[in-house]
Structure 1
Amino acid sequence: MAPPKALLFDFGGTLDDDGRPWLERFRPLWRAEGARVPEAALDRAFYDADDNLPKRHDLAGLDLAATVALQCADAGRVLLPHDPAAAERVARRVVAESRAALARNKPVLERLARRFKLAVVSNFYGNLEGILAAEGLLGLFGAVADSGQVGAEKPDAAIFQWALSRLGVSASEAWMVGDSLKRDMAGAERLGMGHVWLAGPDPKTPPCCADARVLASLTGLEALLAPAEAAR
């Protein structure tokens, strides 16, 4: 990988967790609350709530807690319709985990922002910029490519290009850091962008390609970048 001028980050599963996408985090919490539906049905309820959240609700100005609460309430009406409090408990757990990860990663991002241009590229609901602002992170990023605002989703090249153009760099001058092989790694690879897979501490699948770097935690990114920075 060439030494980068810019770093692009996914949000869910990357900035707010060490490699676990939201579904993998929500699934055991719903099980713990007593959801006994087949796994495929649980996943459908999650994705129905997730995909339709901006259509069903006005998300403008909502922070992370309010956004997750709506997602869980919608899924909960299918999974545990007679226990609305279960959705509230799941939402609180998810938000607490996310905020702990964001707080852990914030010092890393602050140090990186002194040396690189940073952006977020996320398949989100259209209110990610406000969420980042509420969490005290927005000022670290030169661009926030939220699919709900940009009108394109990863791995479509358009959403990556949207962020790159606002940072004023080419794909070859940036690295993408994300947890999804299909969305983050594949999208970056097609553009010729360096890519870092946040696989978590116990990855179940191999990396996307020989060029991918692999991290267990975002806190290891600075050490991964050190050789490339030294080569500048």
Structure 2
Amino acid sequence: MKSILFDYGGTLDSDGSTWLERFHPIYKEYGIDAPNERFDRAFYDSDDNLPARFALDGLDLEQTLRLQVREVLRGLAPDRLELTDRIAGRFAADSRAHFRRLDPVLRRLAQRFRLGVVSNFYGNLDGILRAEGLKELFSVVADSGVLGVNKPDPEIFLHAARALDSRPEECVMVGDSVPRDMKGAAGIGMKRALVCSRAEPPAGGQDWTVRSVVDLETIFL
């Protein structure tokens, strides 16, 4: 094995929790207690349309999150837009705490393997990773917003593998989504590690299941 590819959201910024799962409790803490279905609609309306509504190139993590949160609040509680900075700041702080936890592990992995990121993101992930001090660890950042193709399409995985001078079978894809990460990577012959902290992880054909990226050390080092 030559290379390890990582999903971003739910993998590098948390132990298997999606942005939706992480954000909803924060909104509740600030008094925005919408039913799950209504919150989901507002969240995905913001998430899916953010690149079309705003120029995101050059924005850092917190700036991007503020736009995402503001759009959710417009849909759920337009009279509570003053909560934007607090909700976005809390989410960013949690993400950065996780970055600090993973940083030494990623650096040790980078001494032995070529590392990359494959993410369905907004088009500004490279800059976000650079601002957070993580970009130097990754030789490629395959951002769907830049490439115009989303996981599980094989091309986004193949783009990353080519950039790392690796064949698909020489790569491991690490992610928290069975349909996007595990099945997408399996389709081109990559090994797969699912990040999942649930007591009963889903069966997605993964080769390994880990509770955190931290646990990859015991497998690969």
Superposition TM-score tier, normalisation by shorter sequence: over 0.9
Aligned partner of 2:63 in structure 1 is: 66
Task: After TM superposition, give the deviation of residue 30 of structure 1 in Å.
Answer: 1.5
How many pairs are equivalent? 221
State the TM-score, normalizing by the size of structure 1: 0.92
**1:57 partner letter:** F
**1:215 partner letter:** V
Structure 1 position 28 matched with structure 2 position 63: no
Q: Which 10-residue stretch deviates more, 120-129 or 54-63?
A: 54-63
- Checking the alignment, whether the CA contact within 8 Å between 1:207 and 1:214 is kept in structure 2 is no
Percent of aligned pairs with the same amino acid: 48
**Structure 1: 4+ residue segments shifted above 6 A:** none
Instruction: Supply the distance in 1 between the matched residues of 2:38 and 2:203 (Cα, whole angstroms).
Output: 29
SS in structure 1 of the partner of residue 79 of structure 2: coil
Structure 1 position 176 matched with structure 2 position 173: yes
Task: After TM superposition, give the deviation of residue 34 of structure 1 in Å.
Answer: 2.2
Which of 203, 207, 213 is equivalent to 1:218? 213
Give the direction of change, closer, same or farther, for the CA distance of 1:28–1:62 in structure 2 (3 Å limit). same
Long gaps (5+) in structure 2 = none
Aligned partner of 1:141 in structure 2 is: 138
**1:177 partner letter:** V
Task: After TM superposition, give the deviation of residue 32 of structure 1 in Å.
Answer: 2.2
**1:15 partner letter:** L
Structure 1 position 45 matched with structure 2 position 27: no
C-alpha distance after superposition, 1:65-111 (max 9, x if no partner): 10011100111111121111222221111100000101111111111
Which of 98, 101, 107 is equivalent to 2:98? 101
What CA RMSD, in Å, does the superposition of the two structures yield over aligned residues? 1.2
Task: After TM superposition, give the deviation of residue 205 of structure 1 in Å.
Answer: 4.1
State the TM-score, normalizing by the size of structure 2: 0.96
